[in-house]
A and B are shown apart, each in its own frame.
Chain A
Amino acid sequence: MKPGLKSGSKRAPRLAYTPLNLSRYLVWTGFALVLLCAPLVFTKGAALSILSQIGTLMIFGLSYNMLLGQGGMLSFGHAVYSGLGAFFAIHAMNHSGLHVPTTLIALVGGVAGMGFGVLFGYVTTKKSGTTFAMITLGLVELVFASSLMFPGFFGGEGGVTTNRVRGQAFFGITYGPQIQVYYLIAGWLFVSTVAMFAFTQTPLGRMLNAVRDNPERVEFIGYDTQFVRYLTLILSAFFAGVSGALSAINFEIVSAENVSAIRSGAVLLFVFIGGIGFFFGPLVGAVVGVFFTVMLSEYSAAWQLYLGLFFIAVVRFAPGGLSSLLMLLLRVVKFGKFARIRTPLLAVLSCTLFGLLGLVFGIELLYHLTLDAADGSVVTLFGWRFDTHSALPWLATAAMLLLACVGYRTTAPAYMALWGEVNADIAAAVRRGAA
C-alpha cells in the first residue's frame, strides 16, 4: 500500500501519487446539494430569509474560526471587518457612478474588509493571547464610537439603507425575490467555504496551526509568528467583509450595530458553541446561532438567558463544542460500539431533557412574573394556562428539576464509566492498528 513504490523500481523518483480522495469529493458534493435543495425542503414562511441569514453567518463564523480555531487568536472585534465591509458594499450599491453588479458586491465588501485588516491587523496582531483579545475589544469600541461621530458615512443611528434591485436584469435575475438572494448567498458560501478549507491546507495554514500550538518553537525555526498572524487576519477579514456585504444585500440596511462589540461577541459565542476544533464547527454554530437569535426570540423573551446558559454549559462541559460531541459519537459508531452505550445514553439524555424542560418551564414562569407582570399573572405555556401567583406551577417546576437531578445522578456515573471503557477500547484498537 505504499504508493511511491508501486512502480517496482528501487529508486522511486517522486512520492507524488495521491490516492483519489473519494470521501472529500462526496462531502463537498453533498454540501453543494444541501445548499441547492435547502429552499425546496424548507418552504414555510420566513424559511428563505432564515436560510439566507444562516448562510451569511456561516461565512462570518468560518472566517472567525480562521483566527480562533486555527490560529488561537481570541478576537472580540471581528465585526469590525464584516461591518466595515458591509458599509463599503452598501455605499457601492448606492453610488450612482459605480456599476458593480449586485452579484459581485460581495467582492467590494471583501476588499474593504481586507483593507481594514491590513490597517488594524498591523496593530492587533503585534500581540497574541489575552492581550490580543483586549486590543481587539478596544478596537471594536473605537470603531463603534467613531461610527456615531461620522454620520455622513455611517448614517448615524438610523444606518444606511439601499435597494438591492438595481441595474438591468441579467437573465431575469434582479435579486428582488428572496430565493435569488438565497442562491447568491449560497453560491458565495460554497466558494468561500472551499477557499477557506483550501487555506487550511496551504503552508501558511499549517504554519498558523504551529503558531497556535507552539509559537516559541516556530520562532526558533525562523518564522515570524507575528507575520503569520497578520497574514491570516488579513485573509480572515476578507471573508468577514464578504459576509458583511451579503448581509447588506439581504437586509438592505447597515447600521452602527454591524460594527459593534455585541455583533463581535455573538459570532464568538456561535463559533465556540459549534466547535472551534473542526473546520465545519462554525457551520453548526451558525445554525444554532440563528435558531437562538431569530427563531427562539419569536417565542420567548428569555432567549438571551437561554443562549448564555447554553454557551456556559458548552464551555463548562464540552469545550470542544457541538461538533466535537458529534465526532466523538461518530467515532464510537465507526468502531461498532454504539450498541453498547445506546441504552445508558438514552437514559442520561432523557433525564437531561426532562430537567431542561423543567428549567425552561421555571424560567418562563419567572419571566412572566417579573417582566410581564402588567399582563396579569396567567401565562400560557406548552398549550396550558398557569397562574404564576399560585404555588402549583412553582412546585411542579421544583419537582421536575429535582426528579431530573436525581435521575441524572443515578444514570450518569454508569454511563460515564461505560463511555470511558468504550473509548479506551477504541484507543487500544487504534494502537493495535498503528503498531
Chain B
Amino acid sequence: MEFTLFTLLNGVSYGLLLFMLSSGLTLIFSMMGVLNFAHASFYMLGAYVAYAISARLGFWPALVLAPLVVGLAGALVERYGLRPLHKFGHIPELLFTFGLSYLMVELVQLVWGRAAVAYPIPQELDRPLFTLFATSFPMYRGFMMLVALSMLAAIWLVLTRSRLGLVIQAALTHPEAVEALGHNVPRIFMWVFGGGCALAGLAGVIGGNAFVTEPGMAATVGTIIFVVVVVGGMGSLAGAFVASILIGVLQTFAVALDYSLMTLLNWTGAGITAATPGYSLLKVTVAQSAPILPFLLLVLILIFRPKGLMGVRE
C-alpha cells in the first residue's frame, strides 16, 4: 500500500514533468509541422539559466526569468534559423534543430563546464510535505506537480478561452484565411515556437534541481519525450498528457520491481536454472528492463494503433 501510493505519486510527478516538456513539443509540431529536435536542449538551457540566475537572485526570480530567457532564445532560433528554411520543406527544418541540439550541448559545456553544477532545491521547499506510514513525500515533488498542473490549466485557458488562443488555433488549421484577416502568421509561429521553448525552459527550472543539472540531461529526456508525443498521437495535447503520465508511472514502477520472468516461472514451479535455454532472457528483471519500456511501448503502439492513443490522423 505504502509502496504503491508513493511509487504512484513519484510516477505522476515525473509524468507531469514529461508533460511539461512534451506539451511544448506537441504545440510546435501541430502548428508548424516541425519536430523540434532541440526541444530537450531548451529544457537543459532552462535548467542552466535558472542555475545562473538563482545563484545571484534566488530561486523565485529564476522561476519567472529563466523561461522568459529560454522562450526568447527559441523565438530568435525560429526567426533566424527556421523561418528561412521553411521553403525547403520539413526535413531541412528538422535537421536544423538536430544540428542545434549538438551545438547547444557544446555551448552549455563551454559556458558552464562539463561537470554537473550545484543547483539546489530552495530551502523553503526542501522538507517533507507529508509523512505516511514511514515514508515521507518531499515538498518539492508536490511543488513540481503544482507547477505542471497550473501550467496545464494556463495553456488550456489561453488556447480555448482567449482571443490569442483562437487566433493560434485558427492559424493551425487555416493559415491562409488567418493571414487574409490581417494577422501576421509567421510572427504567430515565432511566438508559438518561443512559447513552446519557454515551457521546456520552465520544465528545466523545476526539473534541473529535482534531478541533476549536467550537459547530459538533454539526452536523457530527449528521446523519451519523442516517445510521449508519438504514443499520445502526433499533435494531440490530451494524448501527450495521457502518454506522459502513463510512461512516468510505468517507468517509476518498473524501476522498483525486482522480479523477472524467472521469478514468476519458478513461483509456479518451473524450476528454471542457469542451464535452461533462454536463461539470459528469463533472468532479466523488470527493473533492469525499465529503460527499454517506453520504447517497447512505442513499437507496440505503432503496430497496434499507429495514430497513437489520442491521435486524430495518421
Contact = CB atoms under 8 A, between A and B. Distances in A.
Contacts of A149: 284, 288-289, 292
Contact of A316 (B33, B81, B280, B288): B81
Nearest to A369: B110
Chain A interface helix/strand/loop/mixed: helix
Contacts of A146: 292
A142 B230 contact: no
A370 B102 contact: no
B55 interface: no
A302 B230 CA distance: 34
Interface string B272-297: 00000000110010001101101110
A309 B103 contact: yes
B102 to A, nearest CB: 4
A138 B299 contact: yes
B223 interface: yes
Interface string B102-135: 1101110111011000000000000000000000
A265 B94 CA distance: 13
Contacts of B94: 74, 130, 133
B102 A139 contact: no
Interface string B17-46: 000000000000000010100000000000
A308 B37 CA distance: 14
B90 A135 contact: no
B111 A127 contact: no
Interface string A26-68: 0000000000000000000000000000000000000000000
**B111, B295, B306, B314 pick with most chain A CB within 10 angstroms:** B295
A371 B294 CA distance: 35
A316 B111 contact: no
B151 to A, nearest CB: 24
Contact of A135 (B84, B91, B230, B314): B230
Given A135-B230, A141-B223, A304-B102, A152 B85 contact: no
B262 interface: no
Nearest to A153: B280
Contact of A145 (B98, B291, B302): B291
Interface string A250-273: 000000000001000100110010
B299 A145 contact: no
A311 interface: yes
Nearest to A309: B103
A36 B90 CA distance: 41
B92 A152 contact: no
B295 A139 contact: yes
Contacts of B296: 142
B92 A315 contact: yes
- What is the size category of the interface that chain A forms with chain B? 35 or more
B278 to A, nearest CB: 11
B199 interface: no
Contact of A127 (B106, B289, B295, B302): B302
A126 B302 contact: yes
B111 A123 contact: no
A159 to B, nearest CB: 17
B190 interface: no
B125 to A, nearest CB: 31
B295 A142 contact: yes
B95 interface: yes
Contacts of A307: 102
Contact of A302 (B106, B113, B298, B299): B106
Interface string A354-373: 00000000000011001100
Given A126-B302, A127-B302, A130-B90, A312 B226 contact: no
Nearest to B308: A131
Interface centre among B84, B109, B303 (most CB of A within 10 A): B109
Contacts of A133: 35, 94
Contacts of B292: 141-142, 145-146, 149
Given A142-B299, A370-B110, A312 B96 contact: yes
A150 interface: yes
Interface string B144-170: 000000000000000000000000000
B110 A366 contact: yes
B234 interface: yes
Contacts of A152: 280
Interface string B221-263: 0010011011000100000000000000000000000000000
Nearest to B114: A371
Contact of B106 (A145, A269, A305, A316): A305
A134 interface: yes
A1 B135 CA distance: 89
Interface string B57-93: 0000000000000000000000001001100101110
A407 interface: no
Q: Which of B94, B294, B302 has the most CB of A within 10 A?
A: B302
Interface in A333-373: 366-367, 370-371
B234 A131 contact: yes
B9 interface: no
A127 B35 contact: no
A305 B103 contact: yes
A129 interface: yes
Of B99, B100, B284, B306, most buried by chain A (CB within 10 Å of CB) is B99
Contacts of B226: 134, 137-138
B162 to A, nearest CB: 29
A210 to B, nearest CB: 17
Interface in A290-320: 302, 304-305, 307-309, 311-312, 315-316, 319
B96 A315 contact: yes
A133 B288 CA distance: 27
Contacts of A72: 91
A130 B280 contact: no
B114 A138 contact: no
Nearest to B296: A142
A249 to B, nearest CB: 27
A258 B88 CA distance: 32
B88 A145 contact: no
A126 B306 contact: yes
Given A138-B226, A138-B230, 6 more contacts: A127-B306, A142-B299, A149-B292, A269-B99, A312-B99, A367-B110
Closest 3 CB pairs of A and B: A142-B295, A308-B102, A308-B103
9 contacts: A74-B94, A138-B299, A149-B289, A153-B280, A268-B95, A307-B102, A308-B100, A309-B103, A371-B114
Interface of A: 72, 74, 123, 126-127, 129-131, 133-135, 137-139, 141-142, 145-146, 148-150, 152-153, 261, 265, 268-269, 272, 302, 304-305, 307-309, 311-312, 315-316, 319, 366-367, 370-371
